Amino acid sequence: MSESPRSAPPKRMDDAVFELLYQKYATDVLRVSYFYLGDRQKAEDVTQDVFVKLLTSCPELEEGKEKAWLLKVAVNRCRDLWRASWVKRVVLGSPQLELIPDERAVDERLEKQELLKAVHSLPAQFREVILLHYYQGYGIAEISGMLDLPEGTISSRLSRGRKKLEEILKDGDA
Amino acid sequence: MKDPMEEKLQDLPRAADEAFGGLQATQGLRNRILEQADGSRSERKPLRWLVPAMSCAGVLLIVAGLFMTGAFGGGKTGIDSLLVMPEQQIAVVAQGNAPSLEEGQLTADVGGTASISQNAGGGMLVVDGRYYCLQSGKVSSSVKGSYLGDARYVNSVSGQGGVCSDCLSDGTGIYTVAGMEGAAVVADDGGTLRLFRRTSCGGIATVGGESLRDTLRGDVEMLSLSGVGTLDGDDARQLMNTLFSCASYAGSESRESGTTLTITYTNGVKIKLYVSGDRLMGCGSWNCPEFFSAFRGMFY
C-alpha cells in the first residue's frame, strides 16, 4: 500500500537556501512592506510571515524568480492588512510615512520626500503597482503574474496612478 | 514627449533607498522567523469544539460576575457598568493573583519614574506598576487569557497604576497569558498578539512580596542555555525548582549579554533571558550558581 501524503514528515527549506534568500531580499521585502503600510512593526510582521511561509511551504521557485515570489506574498499580505485596518484609518486617519534615512544621508531632499509621501498616500491599488514597477523595477507582464491581474489592468493602474500622483503633488496633499 | 511624472518616478528607487536606508532586516527578525517556523510545524491543532464551549462558559461567567458584583443594580445603566469593567478587572489582577502594590513594599533598589526612549529595547508596557518588555513579534492566539485593560500610549512610562506603553497605540487591548499571570501579558494589536515578558525598569523589579517564581510563572517544558544545551521534561522542571529555591535577588539592573536562557512553556510561549556568569537577567538580576552548575553538569 502506498503511503498517504499526509503522513509524510513536514518539509522544510534547506537552511543555506533560506539564509541566502534572507540576506539578499529580506530588506527589500521589509522596505516595500513599510512603503506600502507606513507602519514599521506591521512591515516586520509581513516580512516575518513571508519568510515563514517560504520556510514552511517550500514553494518550487524558478531560478531568478525568488524575489518576485517573496514580493508577491508580501504585497498580498500588505493588502490584507491594509483592508483589515480601514476602520482604524477612517477613525484615526492614515498612518504618516515616517522616513527612516540612513544616518549617513544627511542632506534632506524635500522633493524626493514629497514624492515618497505622495506614493504612500495613493489608493492601495495604484500604490502596489507603482511600488513594484518603479521601486522594484518589475515589468508589466511580471506584475500581472504577481498580482493575478490582466496586463491591461496593470498598465491602466500605472497610468492612473501617475495622474493621481501628479494631482497629489500639485495640491501638496502628500 | 515623456510624461514628467514618469521621469520623477524613475528616481523612486534612489529616493526610497535614501529615505529608508535605516530600515534593515536584522538578525533579530531572522531569529524570530526561524523560531516561528519551528513553532508552526510543531503547533498542535486546537480542539474545535472547545472554542464555542469556552466562549459560552466565558459569557456565563461574565454575566454571573456582573450580577455578583451588583453591576446590574444600583443607579448605573447596564452600559455604564460595562464601561467600568476594565478598571475593575485590573484591580482584581493586582490585588488577587499578585501581591498589592503599596509603595513601601517595592523590592526594587530605587523607586520612581522611568523615562524610556522609544527605540530602547523594542518597547515597554506597564500594568499596574509591573513592567513588561516586548519579547517577540507574534504569538499564537491560544495563549490569550483574560482582559486586563486598554493601553494608554505614553512617551515616558511611570510606575503608577493603570495600563500604559511606549510602543502600543492608544486602546490596544492587553490580556493575561493563561497560567502565566504576572509573568507575561499579550497585546492584541489588530488581531496580532504580541508577547511582553516581565522585566525591570527604572529601578523597579519585583513588587510586593513577589519572588523570581512569580515573574516566570508557568508550566515549563524545555530549557535551553546557549552554548551548553537543551533540557526538557522532568529535568527542566527540576532545574527550574532549583532556580526558584536558590536564586537571590542581586538588584534591578538587567543588561544584555551574549548568553541566553530560553524557557519554553507548555503553551508554546518562549521567554528569552540574558545570562551573565551565574547571574540571570530577567525581572531584575538574580544570582544562582547552583542552577547554572547543575545545568552544565547535565552535559559535561
pLDDT digits (tens, 9 = 90+) for B189-246: 878 888 999 988 777 788 878 889 999 999 999 999 988 889 998 999 999 999 999 9
Q: What is the pLDDT of residues A112-152, one digit of tens each?
A: 778 888 999 999 999 999 999 999 999 999 999 999 999 99
Chain B positions in Cβ-Cβ contact with residue A12 (cut-off 8 Å): 37, 41
Decide if B11 and A29 are in contact by the 8 Å CB cutoff.
no
Residue B78 pLDDT: 25
Any CB–CB contact under 8 A between A27 and chain B? yes
Chain B positions in Cβ-Cβ contact with residue A112 (cut-off 8 Å): 11, 14-15, 18-19
Cα A77 to Cα B227: distance, rounded to the nearest angstrom: 37
Residue B56 pLDDT: 52
Q: How far apart, in Å, are the Cα atoms of B285 and each of A19, A171, B82, B254, B274?
A: 34, 56, 40, 6, 9
**Environment class of residue B197 by beta-carbon count within 10 Å: exposed (0-12), middle (13-18) or buried (19+)?**
buried
Decide if A52 and B37 are in contact by the 8 Å CB cutoff.
yes
Taking 80 as the threshold, does the pLDDT of residue A45 lie above it? yes
Q: What is the mean pLDDT of residues B133-157?
A: 79
Mean pLDDT (chain A) is 82
Taking 90 as the threshold, does the pLDDT of residue A108 lie above it? no
Classify strands B192-198 and B184-189 as parallel, antiparallel or unpaired. antiparallel
Residue B113 pLDDT: 31
Cα B81 to Cα A50: distance, rounded to the nearest angstrom: 43
Looking at the partner chain, which of A101, A116, A119 has a beta carbon nearest the beta carbon of B21?
Answer: A101
Looking at the partner chain, which of A34, A109, A113 has a beta carbon nearest the beta carbon of B23?
Answer: A34
Whether the CB-CB separation of B210 and B147 falls below 8 Å is answered with no
Decide if A166 and B41 are in contact by the 8 Å CB cutoff.
no
Decide if A31 and B20 are in contact by the 8 Å CB cutoff.
yes
A102: closest CA of chain B, how far (Å): 4
CATH topology for A9-95?
Answer: Rna Polymerase Sigma Factor; Chain: A (1.10.1740)
Classify strands B152-153 and B284-287 as parallel, antiparallel or unpaired. unpaired
Cα B167 to Cα B149: distance, rounded to the nearest angstrom: 16
Q: What is the mean pLDDT of residues B111-135?
A: 60
pLDDT band at B107, cuts 50/70/90? very low
Indicate where chain A has its CATH 1.10.10.10 domain(s): 100-174
Whether the CB-CB separation of B291 and B246 falls below 8 Å is answered with yes
Predicted complex ipTM exceeds 0.90: no
Give the chain B residue whose CA is nearest to the CA of A22.
B30
Chain A positions in Cβ-Cβ contact with residue B14 (cut-off 8 Å): 112
pLDDT band at A46, cuts 50/70/90? very high
Domain boundaries, chain B: 218-297
Decide if B15 and A109 are in contact by the 8 Å CB cutoff.
yes
Between B66 and B204, where is the model more confident? B204
Decide if B137 and A44 are in contact by the 8 Å CB cutoff.
yes
Decide if A35 and B16 are in contact by the 8 Å CB cutoff.
yes
Amino acid identity of residue B143, one-letter, is V
Outline where chain B has alpha helix (H): 4-10, 12-19, 27-42, 50-68, 78-83, 85-92, 212-215, 233-246, 289-297
Decide if A27 and B23 are in contact by the 8 Å CB cutoff.
yes
Residue B14 pLDDT: 83
pLDDT band at A10, cuts 50/70/90? low
Residue B112 pLDDT: 29
Decide if A137 and B13 are in contact by the 8 Å CB cutoff.
yes
Whether the CB-CB separation of A65 and A72 falls below 8 Å is answered with no
Indicate where chain A has its CATH 1.10.1740.10 domain(s): 9-95
Positive or negative CA dihedral for B140, B143, B145, B147?
Answer: negative
The DSSP code for B95 is I
Only one residue has cell 501524503, namely A5
CATH class of A100-174: mainly alpha
CB atoms closer than 10 angstroms to residue B4: 10
Q: What is the mean pLDDT of residues B46-55?
A: 49
Q: What is the pLDDT of residues A11-32, one digit of tens each?
A: 677 778 888 899 899 999 999 9
End-to-end CA distance of chain A: 64
Chain A positions in Cβ-Cβ contact with residue B23 (cut-off 8 Å): 27, 30-31, 34, 40, 43, 100
Counting residues of chain B whose pLDDT is more than 70, the rounded percentage is 67
Query: Backbone phi, then psi, for B106, in 5-degree steps?
Result: -65, 130
Closest to B262 measured CA to CA, from B44, B32, B43, B46: B32
